[in-house]
Amino acid sequence: MKKSKITIIVAELILLALAVFFVRKIFEEDVPQKRVAVIVERSGDKRWDALFQGLKHSADLNNLHLIICNTDDIKNADDEKTLIYEQLDNNVDAFIICPAPGSNTLQMLQELNNEVPFVLITEDVYIAGEGKDSGNDAEYTASGFPVIKPDNYQMGYKLGEELVKNNGGALDGKKIGIYAGREKTEATVSQVKGVIDALSGTGCEIIWEYYYLENQNVCSLVDNSQRVDYICAMDTDVLDILGEEAVDGKYDGAEIYGIGSSMKSVTLLDYGQIRCLVVPDGYDIGYESIMELAKKLDNSFYSLESHEADAKVIYREDIFSDDVERFLYSYE
Amino acid sequence: MNRLILKKITAFVLIWGMMVSLAGCGSRKHKSYTTLRVGVITYTQNDAFINALTDCLKTELKSMETAHMKIIVSIRSADDDQEDQDEVAAEMIDAGCDILCVNLVDRTAPSKIIRNARDNDIPVIFFNREPVMDDLMQWDKLYYVGCDAKQSGEMQGEIAADYINEHPEVDRNRDGKIQYILLEGEAGHQDAISRTDSSVKTLISKDITLEKLSYQFADWNRGQAENRMTQLISQYGNSIEMVISNNDEMALGAVEAYKKAGYPEEEWPVIFGIDGLKDALEAVEAGTMQGTVYNDKEDQAREMAKLAVDIFKETDIESHDLSLGRYYVSPYQKVDESSVEKFLKPRQ
């Protein structure tokens, strides 16, 4: 009698466990995908192609619904905030954000941090007081937010280093023009600092230093400036514009060294219009940012981590080497 | 006792819930303006005319922003692949978009975009590449802004005929026939067929006797046209008397090929394009091209921008005077040496 009672209880427990298992399975399949919104300025730009490939691939693997926001120029924290809050109304669970220029972005993101998880990509937040005018020689202060980005300082430094190396270690009497990306961004501040550090003490003179503005006529600005021997174009748009207008590998007599992340930049390098290119691993940035968020969305106690993406120095003659071809695969 | 505890817990939960929802409301500030989000998808990023047109469109839309209406213009391209374009359209709609402006890769395959837009009630303005009429009539929120390809061909033929009549030396071998090369956009492309056909027919109707040496497809692209033309120059030498191109980019490719081949300019054939690109206008002014047909991108961009804003504001669009309630056809204009100056000035 006692034995049969135990058997019944055990059988009931097994049935209950099975029922729980199947019910859970059924509901697991019905769980809606978590939604991740991506906010980068001018989302249609070709410079994001590799990044978007990485994002899409990783989102597929992690069963996340990816929303690439329709954007044009994001000039400041307010522009970015509008986009973010529109997507919050669109029931987004997490964000991937390229921080807007300016010092107000930090506070805006601190507010967002209390609401929803996010990771920053390609660069950290600009912090007021950093940059060339601050007299601050230390490396950039991190915001503390999770960031997936290349070492922007090192990218600038490598570019300068290559320029010095190609001139036998000295640039005596050579004139340099620096055309950087948007002002008041971490990437620009770090890259410019990197290139200037690499060039210091080599005998060259930095003749001009410009920052890219929306609708700026890049060519006319350079044409109306003092002629230089080398241009360091540290922004994809600027690099592609100058590279396209270069004749026999030179723009107005200047060789172009650049940082770029579009297929066009690579093509211009291949055509000999650009002398040397530093390329960040956009695919990796996209892939890793989704991986981080997937962990967070799966387990709310997970603490989001920063990752450093790779960047490569490429010359025309290296484009078809196995190593570089593998690296550039996602750019096609 | 237990009831009292239960009441206290319920009250606490209710108050906490209210506080959380109030805090949530507070964090989303109420906007004092509406946002019009315009998604623009081009067939490629490498078409100079389309890029100039989308630049104009963006400028026009931005000029229509007010304190109460912010306009976000997002421009993406489809890399010459209709499936890619369908995917980009779906992504744009998913991310939130009020109006789509689509420059189709394949004018016969807009159905996925139309279905997706209709499901989400997003009006679509097709531009530059005209969908088949049956497709455009599928839904009352589909529009087309562009030009009449046949008219551009006719005008090109007229400019070429007038030039040849005024400059008999074009017929270098004096055989009474003009030996010519055709540079065509894409095989089977409606605009390419229409431009070629009407241009040649117009020349013939103007008593110009033609002899076709060759035709080449160069995908509307300057670089490809240059390659094709270089081959043709080595094949036909200076027996080519005229180059008729379906667009300016390819005409400029022919100019480039002649420059690189080292022919003196007086031995070049006459070259005619279509679109009125800045480079082509400069070539007409310099005499390396003899004419083009101005495709009024400023007018088309202005119309698209106005239409987008009016549709968004739900204003009556009667004033747009659209043919069949859907079509806006912008007129072409002839450009030759005598008129090029006015087109080179910045246009309003």
Query: CA nearest B71 in A: which residue?
Result: A72
pLDDT, tens only, B99-140: 999 999 998 899 999 999 999 999 999 999 989 999 999 999
Cβ <8 Å between B75 and A44 = yes
Q: Is the pLDDT of residue A248 over 90?
A: no
Q: Which residues of A touch B29 (CB under 8 A)?
A: 85
How many residues are listed for chain A in this entry? Answer: 332
The mean pLDDT of A159-179, rounded to a whole number, is 94
Nearest CB to B74; choose among A71, A88, A90: A71
Work out the pLDDT band at B27, boundaries 50, 70, 90. very low
Q: Report pLDDT for B79.
A: 87
Quote the distance between the C-alpha of residue B185 and its chain's center. Answer: 14
Q: Is the pLDDT of residue A132 over 50?
A: no
Cα A10 from Cα A12, distance rounded (Å): 5
The interface predicted TM-score of the complex, written ipTM, equals 0.77
Q: Report pLDDT for A112.
A: 93
Q: Which residues of A touch B73 (CB under 8 A)?
A: 72
Q: Is the pLDDT of residue A1 over 70?
A: no
Q: Does B44 contact chain A (CB < 8 Å)?
A: no
Q: Is the pLDDT of residue B17 over 60?
A: no
B259's tokens: 């420059």
Q: Report pLDDT for A76.
A: 93
d(CA B71, nearest CA chain A) in Å: 10
Q: Report pLDDT for B16.
A: 60
pLDDT, tens only, B290-308: 999 999 999 999 999 999 9
Query: CA nearest A85 in B: which residue?
Result: B28
Q: Does B118 contact chain A (CB < 8 Å)?
A: no
Q: Report pLDDT for B207.
A: 94
Q: Report pLDDT for A9.
A: 87
Q: Report pLDDT for A328.
A: 78
pLDDT, tens only, B32-71: 678 899 999 999 988 889 999 999 999 999 999 998 999 9
d(CA A160, nearest CA chain B) in Å: 31
Cβ <8 Å between A43 and B76 = yes
Q: What is the largest CA-CA distance in chain A?
A: 104
Q: Report pLDDT for A332.
A: 60
Cα A260 from Cα A124, distance rounded (Å): 18
Work out the pLDDT band at A219, boundaries 50, 70, 90. very high
Q: Which of B17-26, B125-134, B323-332 has the weakest average pLDDT?
A: B17-26
The mean pLDDT of A273-288, rounded to a whole number, is 95
Q: Which of A275-279, B23-27, B183-187, B223-227 has the weakest average pLDDT?
A: B23-27
Q: Is the pLDDT of residue A305 over 90?
A: yes
pLDDT, tens only, B280-292: 999 999 999 999 9
Half-sphere exposure of residue A327, counting CA atoms within 13 Å on the CB side? 19
The mean pLDDT of B87-97, rounded to a whole number, is 94
What's the Cα-to-Cα distance from B135 to each of A158, A159, A220, B104, B187, rounded to whole Å?
Answer: 54, 52, 45, 12, 22
Quote the distance between the C-alpha of residue A183 and its chain's center. Answer: 16
What's the Cα-to-Cα distance from B89 to each of A286, B96, B190, rounded to whole Å?
Answer: 21, 11, 23
Over chain A, what HEC string results? CHHHHHHHHHHHHHHHHHHHHHHHHHHHHHCCCEEEEEECCCCCCHHHHHHHHHHHHHHHHCCEEEEECCCCCCCCHHHHHHHHHHHHHCCCCEEEECCCCCCCHHHHHHHHHCCCCEEEECCCCCCCCCCCCCCCCCCCCCCCCCEEEECHHHHHHHHHHHHHHCCCCCCCCCEEEEEECCCCCHHHHHHHHHHHHHHCCCCCEEEEEEECCCCCCHHHHHHCCCCCCEEEECCHHHHHHHHHHCECCEECCEEEEEECCCHHHHHHHHCCCCCEEEEECHHHHHHHHHHHHHHHHHCCCCCCCCEEECEEEECHHHCCCHHHHHHHHHHC
Q: Is the pLDDT of residue B309 over 70?
A: yes
The mean pLDDT of A51-68, rounded to a whole number, is 95
Interface of A with B (CB under 8 A): 37, 42-44, 46, 67-72, 82, 85-90, 111, 115
Q: Report pLDDT for A331.
A: 63
pLDDT, tens only, B132-181: 999 999 999 999 999 988 999 999 999 999 999 999 999 999 999 999 99
- Give rounded-to-5 percent helix, strand, coil for chain B: 50, 20, 30
Q: Report pLDDT for B20.
A: 47
The mean pLDDT of B217-243, rounded to a whole number, is 94
Torsional sign, CA A185, A190, A191, A195: positive
Work out the pLDDT band at B316, boundaries 50, 70, 90. confident
Q: Is the pLDDT of residue B14 over 80?
A: no
